[in-house]
Structure 1
Amino acid sequence: MEGYPPNLHHHAASGTAAARLLADFPFGLATLCAKWFTSTATDFTMSSPTTTQNSDSPANYTCDNVNALSHPFLYLQCTYDALPTLSTADWCMIVLPIAVYWIYSTFLFVLSYMKITTIELHKIPTDQKMRPKNKITVSHVLKQVAVQHALQALVAYVLAILTTEDGEGGARKMESVPVVVMKLVAAALMLDSYQYWMHRWMHTNRWLYRTFHSVHHELTVLYAYGALYNHPVEGFLMDSIGSGVPALILDMHPWTATIFFCLATLKTVDDHCGYALPWDPFQRFFRNNAVYHDIHHWGKGRLYNFSQPFFTFWDVWMGTDYEMAMQKKALAKAQQSSPSSSPELGPITDIVDLIEPESISSTVQTSSHSLKTTAVRRRARSGTVTLVNTPPGGTTTLKRAESTEWHSDSALGSSCGDSNDEEEE
């Protein structure tokens, strides 16, 4: 084994059979693999070069004078040795969010594949007439997600190095429970704020949408694997940066950052699962859930519900909450068509109470925890909705024109695909 760095001789002599086998290969990455799998405590530096007759031998180089062009593998080895040692928490911060994504999405995907009746009863309807089908395969989605995870792991590794103190991984003490909770809440608010405006910008800027964000919207019928089906640039800007920056700003301990990244990952996967599961805590306690995000993925709903992954306060404040926007439009249209002699209408629920049951031609079946149907509006531009005056003491009802096609606006967004409504925006 002449011509190899001295540490390789020592590694091959004291390591396992696998280490000796790897040491027989050219120096560089094989040596790193041997070190990783054998977990030896060998000093892996090259500070004591040996002299040989061949001046170009790697043994004549140290990490101080190695040339990256002439000996790229040796240069990578020296670079790796110069990096800080990462703790278990650091490695968990890098690996666990990715593992959680694949485990949870696979679990939900298998449930959908098994077609269990008690599960299928809570499947979000995707058979609307105006809703297009997915044109991409599951295998294509998996490849794209794998690319994003590779980029995510690299960003997390850099984050781990930046947060390691004095080159000693795990030197920090774990934060107390109240501090962890406060940091998680603050990070969730920061992530939601960043992603709302970035997400909205991706929709309002035509170039950004066509170049990057349209990739994610190739999925109109959602399933769990597609949660991180993005263009790599969008994945880096929206997810990696969106989660990493709050962790840096809040100076999170690696374990705290691991919890935050895993929660954000679980929530994102859950929002794309395609099921409104009443026992799911993410859907039970968060209004921004699978039903809410499903509206955003097709038809007119693409102009609403930009908030992700936890809360909806930005949509509420900025008027992009789909359900609230439809309620306001229905109320405004009813008030505009109402004669001056008609009584003033109250909240949108009053309008619903005034509608005769037989005037509704179709409804959307939702699970027990889903938001109830809140308004009825027209789908055809030629149709009108008018208030009919009755003699004193009578009731005021909503009357539909004969040419109007009626549908129910619910939390499932059954009218998102109305092309006429999109033109009216």
Structure 2
Amino acid sequence: KKAAFVIGSGILFLAAFGNSLTWHLQKFWGASGDFWQNQWSKLHSRFEGHDQALFYLGTMLVPTVVFWGTNALLLFVDIMAKPSFITKYRIQQDKNNPVDPAKLRHALKTVLFNHMCISGPMVVAAYHLMSYRGQPCGPELPTFHWALLELTGFVIIEEIMFYYSHRLFHQPSLYKTFHKQHHEWTAPIGIVCIYAHPLEHVISNMLPVAIGPVILGSHISTTCLWYCLALVSTTVSHCGYHLPLLPSPEFHDFHHLRFNQCYGVLGILDRLHGTDSKFRQTKQYERHTLLTSLTPLTESIPDEPKKGL
């Protein structure tokens, strides 16, 4: 009931003030609107009659480059334990310094399988469902106003579906069979964001992200942007580093450390259900903020000295 009330209030708030907010944003963004429409028109004309290929380019190739490009940089740091100006931001400072090569190779095999053999076919299915509803590769880009509302809807859908599916996989019978694999990494690194049992990858990783554009019948431009944002977001949440000017990964890192806290993405449903109560009593919670300086939060907000030392 609390979750329905808060989410419903948020939707009403967006409905009431969305026009005013997005009018100002549209005015700010409008100067580049023609530029992007012209670029899209050129690309659309090149793929005329091949909408399926264009859709896969935007929903498979582009997100794949973003995902592996981001994780390649993180893997370099994880494997080499260098440079020090990045490793000093490690959340669990005594872990993955450097990462265990054998454990990493094992994880990469599962990640590659999930990415190619599960995510790929699900995107194909998404194309056919979206084509049934309309034209995901239409010649006109969505307005900034509509794209912003869609992204907001995607975030809400993902928060609801991920929280409850993730919490379901923590039920003892399902945890042992499926979700325990993901929690082999008590100190996660970026690439293990999709290191999971195939069934969990379908239900808890892919569906919460893919279902939003299908429900709203979104344009490929918004869908591509959303897939990229979702992949970067989950990578940052698992990366193990609290870096300046990036979203805080403390919330999900604590979940890997303690298992029974912090199930969601945004933390809204965790607060409503009380599944972040222990987290809010920790130093990790104090550090769960945007880092705007070059001083690691483990230095500015250090752990309490261990008893007896």
* Native 8 Å contact 2:141 2:221 kept in 1: yes
1:319 Cα offset (Å): 1.0
The structure-2 alpha-carbon separation of the partners of 1:324 and 1:85, relative to structure 1 and needing over 3 Å to count, comes to closer
1: CA distance, partners of 2:300 / 2:85: 20
- The answer on whether the counterparts of 2:135 and 2:219 sit within 8 Å (CA) in structure 1 is no
Q: Is the 8 A contact 2:133 2:217 kept in 1?
A: no
- Number of the residue aligned with 2:10: none
Aligned twin of 1:198: 165
Q: Once the 2 structures are TM-superposed, how far is the Cα of residue 169 of structure 1 from its aligned partner?
A: 6.8
Shift of 1:272: 1.1
Q: Is the 8 A contact 1:278 1:368 kept in 2?
A: no
Question: How far off is 1:170 after superposition?
Answer: 2.5
The answer (yes or no) to whether the contact 1:165–1:172 under 8 Å persists in 2 is no
* Offset from partner CA, 1:270-304 (integer Å, 9 cap, x none): 11111111132xx2xxxxx3222111112xx2110
- Residues 75-111 of structure 1: CA deviation (Å, up to 9, x unaligned): xxxxxxxxx8515244311222222211111111113
Q: Residues of 1 paired with 2:268 and 2:221: CA distance?
A: 28
**2:71 alignment partner in structure 1:** 105
Which residues in structure 2 correspond to 1:364-383 (within 5 Å)? 367-368=296-297, 372=301
Distance between the aligned counterparts of 2:251 and 2:259, measured in 1? 11
Q: Measure the CA separation in 1 of the matches of 2:114 and 2:239.
A: 19
Q: Alpha-carbon deviation of 1:197? A: 1.0
Equivalent of residue 174 in structure 1, options 121, 128, 141: 141
Residue ranges of structure 2 left out of the alignment (5+ in a row): 1-45, 287-294
Residue equivalent to 1:24 = none
The Cα of 1:236 is off from its aligned counterpart by 0.6
Q: Which of 87, 108, 113 is the equivalent residue of 1:147?
A: 113
* TM-score normalised by structure 1 residue count: 0.52
C-alpha change, 1:372 and 1:160, in structure 2 (3 Å) is: same
Distance 1:303 1:168 in 2: 42
Larger Rg: 1
Letter in 1 for 2:113: V
User: After superposition, what is the alpha-carbon deviation per residue over 1:84-142, rounded to whole angstroms, capped at 9, x for unaligned?
Assistant: 851524431122222221111111111332511211221112438xxxx9796211111
For residues 20-74 of structure 1, give each alpha carbon's deviation from its aligned partner in whole angstroms, at most 9, with x where no partner exists. Answer: xxxxxxxxxxxxxxxxxxx9xxxxxxxxxxxxxxxxxxxxxxxxxxxxxxxxxxx
Q: Which of 274, 285, 290 is 2:249 aligned to?
A: 290
Q: Which amino acid is 1:268 matched to?
A: T
Q: Say whether the 8 Å CA contact 2:55–2:137 is kept in structure 1.
A: yes
Q: Which amino acid letter does the alignment assign opposite residue 303 of structure 1?
A: N
105-114 or 194-203, which deviates more: 105-114
Where relative contact order (Cα < 8 A, 6+ residues apart) is larger, the structure is 2
Amino acid at match of 1:367: P
Instruction: Say which of 271, 275, 285 aligns to 1:320.
Output: 275
| Structure-2 separation of matches of 1:253 and 1:87 | 14
Query: How many residues end up aligned between the 2 structures?
Result: 247
Give the letter aligned to residue 82 of structure 2: K
Secondary structure of the structure 1 residue equivalent to 2:52: coil
* Kept in 1: contact 2:163–2:269 (CA 8 A): yes
Flag the 1:217–1:293 CA change in 2: closer, same or farther, 3 A: same
Map of 1:259 onto structure 2: 225
Task: Please state how far the C-alpha of 1:191 moved relative to its aligned partner.
Answer: 0.1
In the TM superposition, residue 179 of structure 1 has moved relative to its aligned partner by 0.8
User: Does structure 1 retain, via aligned residues, the 8 Å contact 2:136–2:220?
Assistant: no
Secondary structure of the corresponding residue to residue 137 of structure 1: helix
Instruction: State the secondary structure of the residue aligned to 2:110.
Output: helix
Q: For residues 248 and 196 of structure 1, what CA distance do their matches in structure 2 show? A: 20
Q: Please give the alpha-carbon distance, in whole angstroms, between the structure 1 residues aligned to 2:90 and 2:168.
A: 30
* Pairing 1:2-81 to 2, within 5 Å after superposition: none
Does residue 117 in structure 1 map to residue 84 in structure 2?
yes
Look up the SS of the partner of 1:174 in the other structure.
Answer: coil
User: Cα–Cα, structure 1 residues 168 and 255, in superposed 2: closer, same or farther, change >3 Å?
Assistant: closer
**Percent identity at matched positions?**
23
> C-alpha distance in 1, partners of 2:125/2:272?
35
Unaligned runs of 5+ in 1: 1-38, 40-83, 284-288, 328-348, 350-365, 380-404, 408-425
- In angstroms, what is the RMSD of aligned CA positions? 3.3
> Any conservation in 1 of the 2:190–2:240 contact (CA below 8 Å)?
yes
In 2, Cα distance between the equivalents of 1:184 and 1:259? 9
> Which amino acid letter does the alignment assign opposite residue 262 of structure 2?
N
